[in-house]
A and B are shown apart, each in its own frame.
Chain A
Amino acid sequence: EAGVTQSPTHLIKTRGQQATLRCSPISGHTSVYWYQQALGLGLQFLLWYDEGEERNRGNFPPRFSGRQFPNYSSELNVNALELEDSALYLCASSLEFRGLYEQYFGPGTRLTVT
């Protein structure tokens, strides 16, 4: 069974540009989560999508947005990039099964803003 996949692996942008990151969940999983891992700041929750709807978002400005498609894949958009947006962006998926909500993570997209 294929795991969570993310693309691209690396992304280099300049300040002010827009970045689009993509995530494909494990087959059958309906929930997708986005996390940011910036140097020195640890893993921070960004967004949660379930059944095509945004269910929760972390403490990030509105220029971080995303969506979930009918096939449950997701994309994260970051507008007006700032230098501090440089980070590893991790996507995770899960499926509720008997009360368990174990999250499975992808390999991440390394975003560098210059």
Chain B
Amino acid sequence: KQEVTQIPAALSVPEGENLVLNCSFTDSAIYNLQWFRQDPGKGLTSLLLIQSSQREQTSGRLNASLDKSSGRSTLYIAASQPGDSATYLCAVRQGYNTDKLIFGTGTRLQVFP
């Protein structure tokens, strides 16, 4: 059974710092991995999607890497801003015909001015 874990559970940093959020999964046979952000009480915003054949994806100040064999993904946030404060979730899709996402436990990020 796939289990997805995120470390750290919470993080509080001053504005301008570069951050690394970690996601690990127990079954490396994944189809893809998605990173989301969730603002309090709101829905999810998709940040990046990495196919199993890819090593990384970049969007603006965000970079996500995937090491499928070791069951790990990292989300790198450069030059953090207070607007980045949110909960960040990673989710894996197990297979082509298994469309559900299995979510991690989330990292709650606070960036203070």
A-to-B contact residues, CB < 8 Å: 4, 6, 31, 33, 35, 42-45, 48, 50, 55-56, 58, 88, 90, 92, 94, 99-108, 110
Contact = CB atoms under 8 A, between A and B. Distances in A.
Nearest to B4: A42
Contacts, number: 60
Given A102-B34, A103-B34, A105-B36, A94 B99 contact: yes
A21 to B, nearest CB: 13
B58 interface: no
B99 A55 contact: yes
B100 A31 contact: no
B92 to A, nearest CB: 12
Interface in B42-74: 42-46, 49, 51
Interface residues of B, number: 24
Interface string B89-102: 10101000011111
DSSP class of A's interface residues: helix, strand, loop or mixed? Answer: strand
Contacts of A104: 46
Contact of A107 (B32, B43, B46, B98): B43
B51 A105 contact: no
A94 to B, nearest CB: 7
Contact of A45 (B44, B102, B104): B102
Nearest to B99: A48
Contacts of A107: 42-43
A105 B103 CA distance: 13
